[in-house]
Amino acid sequence: MYNHVALLPNLEKEGAYTLSLEIIKRLKQRNITPVVPLALHEQLRNQDGVFLFCENLLPYLSLCIVLGGDGSILAASKHTAPWGIPILGFHFGRVGFMAELEKDELHYLDDVLDGKSYTVEERSMLKVTLPHGKEVTALNDVLITNPGHAMLDADVLADGSLLQHYHADGLLFSTPTGSTAHNLAAGGAILDAGLQVISFIPICPHTLYRTPPVVFSSSSVLTVSSPSTRSGKLDVVADGRVAYTLQEGDSVIITGSEQKTRLVRVKHQNVHSLLARKLAESYHKSNLYF
C-alpha cells in the first residue's frame, strides 16, 4: 500500500530527531522508502534507502508524517493538498489541534502502515486570488494587515454586494480549522471542522458598536476592495506567512478552495471533548506564569 512516505520533522523540537530515526527504521522494515527534507538527510549522512524530499517526488507519496506543532502541519499542507496526500501528525507543539498523535504513541503508526483501522478527515482551505493572477491557499486563515500596525480602510463585498466599510487593525478570514487560532483570539466563533464555511472578522475595528463575526458559505466570493493605510503598505498573510504586499488600488478575492488538507485519524476521539481538553490545557499553561 505504501511505497514512498515523507517524514517532515521540526528538528528544533526536543526529541524530534530521535523519533525520526525510529520512524525511518519502521518504514524500512516494511520496505517503504522514507523521503526526508535536507536538514534531516544531512544528519543521516546519506543513509542508504532514504530519499531527499523534493517537489518531483510528490506524485509518488502515499503518506506524509509530520513531527511538530500545528505550524509544521500548515507548512506541510502546501505540498500535500494539491496531490491529496494524507498527513499523520505527531504533536510537538504547545497546544495543537491538528496533530493526531503524541510523541509516545508510535504504535498507532504501525496500525496505519499495516492498513488497520483509520480514517482520513478532509479539511477545507481558502483560495486567495491576488493581483497579477497570483493565487495562494491557506488551511487556517488569511489576514490583511499593516506590518507597521497602522489601521486600514477597506470595503468588504460578498458576492459583489457591499457588506460594510471597515476601519480596523486588520481583516481576518478563517476556515473552520483556523477558527481555533487567530480567529478565536480575535473573538470569533469556534466552528465545527467539518463545515464548509468561511468566517470573517475585523481585528480591533474602530467603532462604537460591536462588530460580530460573519460566517459565509465556502462558495461565497469575498472581495477586499482597494484597501488603504496611511503608510501605504499592506500585507496579505496566509497561514502566518506574508504571501503578498499590496499596492494602492489592489484588491484581494477570497473563496473556498477545491484543494483539501487530508488528516489521518486513528484514535477516533470526540472532537468536542478534544477541543475542550486542549483549551483547558492551554489555559492552565498560560496561568503557570502568573
**Lowest-pLDDT choice from 6-20, 41-55, 262-276:** 262-276
Architecture of domain 4-118+266-287 in this structure: 3-Layer(aba) Sandwich (3.40)
* CA angle 165–171–176, rounded 5-degree value: 125
Cα separation of the two ends of the chain = 50
Phi, psi of 216 (to 5 degrees): -115, 155
Q: Once rounded to an integer, what is the mean pLDDT over residues 155-182?
A: 95
- Which of 120-147 are b and which e, b meaning 16 or more Cβ less than 10 Å from the residue's Cβ? ebebbbbbbebeeeeebbbbbbbbbbbe
> Per the structure block, which three cell numbers stand in for 25?
527504521
Distant-in-sequence, close-in-space partners of 229: CB < 8 Å, separation ≥ 6: 146, 150, 151, 152, 153
Provide the 3-class DSSP secondary structure of residue 284: helix
- 89, with CB counted inside 10 A (0-12, 13-18, 19+), is buried
DSSP 56: G
pLDDT, one tens digit per residue, over 116-168 is 889 999 999 999 999 999 999 999 999 999 988 889 999 999 999 999 999 99
- The fold for domain 125-259 equals Tumour Suppressor Smad4 (2.60.200)
**Strands (DSSP E) found in the chain:** 4-9, 33-36, 51-52, 61-68, 87-91, 119-129, 135-138, 141-145, 152-158, 161-168, 170-174, 197-203, 214-217, 222-229, 234-238, 241-246, 252-265
Per the residue annotation, which of 48, 70, 111, 192 is the catalytic one?
A: 70
pLDDT, one tens digit per residue, over 55-79 is 999 999 999 999 999 999 999 999 9
Phi, psi of 128 (to 5 degrees): -115, 120
CB 166 within 8 A of CB 205: yes
70 is catalytic: yes
Residue ranges of the chain that CATH labels 3.40.50.10330: 4-118+266-287
Residue ranges of the chain that CATH labels 2.60.200.30: 125-259
pLDDT, one tens digit per residue, over 213-235 is 999 999 999 999 988 888 778 99
Q: 120 forms bridges with which residues in the sheet?
A: 264
pTM above 0.85, yes or no: yes
